[in-house]
Chain A
Amino acid sequence: MAIVTLQDVHKKYPLGKTEVHAVKGVSFAIEEGDFISIAGPSGSGKSTILNMIGCIDTPSEGSVRIGGTTTGELNDREITGLRHRVIGFIFQNFNLVPVLNVYENIEFPLLLGKTNIAKDERRQWIDSLIEAVGLREWKNHKPNELSGGQRQRVAIARALVAKPQIVLADEPTANLDSGTGEAIIGLMKRMNAEYGTTFIFSTHDPTIVEIADHIIQLHDGLITEDTRKSA
């Protein structure tokens, strides 16, 4: 069942007096539980597509549907709610809240909305995520006391904490050395298998692309290849 559907999506940006056509009519569907890579060189439109799936940008033309909801029809409050409930984010620069420690950063999304999880249950769940990303020893450390790889592990745990259906990762390994990058993708893959969460990540690193089950290749805002590996 498709959890994300893009239908003839275009995105145009004004750039001074000209217009940049970043995405030129892209259509594809992502199934629930997919581990999908959107690959392509810089400027191919990877991040733009990811932003539109993450409801933090809107298409100039066409439609993006998340779990049956057309995102263009929602107001700011509904969009924020959708992002909170359905989507988790992993950023290239980790984007952790600098004044919060590892535990608090992971807990943060749960504190943004009404939650029915009891305090003890919440603590256990966060601890299990910290354990899963291998940061038990670093639980009380602030982001500036962690390495790049460790910060991205915190970001992965934070993206998963609200049990979203989709996790979006924009170039999650771009600021990491190759070994750490591979380890991070490996962790994401494990989480995908363990929690059944759909992972969509963008990258231009061919070695990392290959780990994905479903690869969408982009070039100049158009899909050049949409490959699904057989199980």
Chain B
Amino acid sequence: MEHEIDQIIDRHGAKPTALMAILQDVQQAHGYLSEDALRRIAYRVGIEVPQIYGVATYYRSLRLKPPGRHSIVACMGTACHVRNSPRVLDALKQELGVEPGETTSDGLFSLDSVNCLGACALGPVVVVDGRYYARMTPLKARRLVQEYRQRVGKEAQK
């Protein structure tokens, strides 16, 4: 793992200005930022561990815990809000049994909310594994989760 992290650091250069890019790429590769990863990056970039912890916890796109197999993100922008996104999020919370920022106990889904994805004309928007779903309703949101659950179930049977 350390080797992989070093490769990412070398690609961006071991300098503080590349910190965000390094953190993002390491997260992309591992799904999250582990303590070991943060320590290694801090050492290579030449900053203190508390400083990197500060940066990693400041930005909401960085996560310090492993994500679920599927990532569900609900947009909470203003345009989505006036078209009922809070109820869409409620439906997702209820269907998954977790709060935003958490992962389901079976490790299948992580739920997050985001303050605006910039797809405002099509709100409310929900993104699953990078795929955008437009004009969501609470009912459609529940069905979306059920669909993914079934898909996972089928994959397991194979």
Partners in one complex: no
B residues sitting closer than 8 Å to A (CB atoms) are none
A residues sitting closer than 8 Å to B (CB atoms) are none
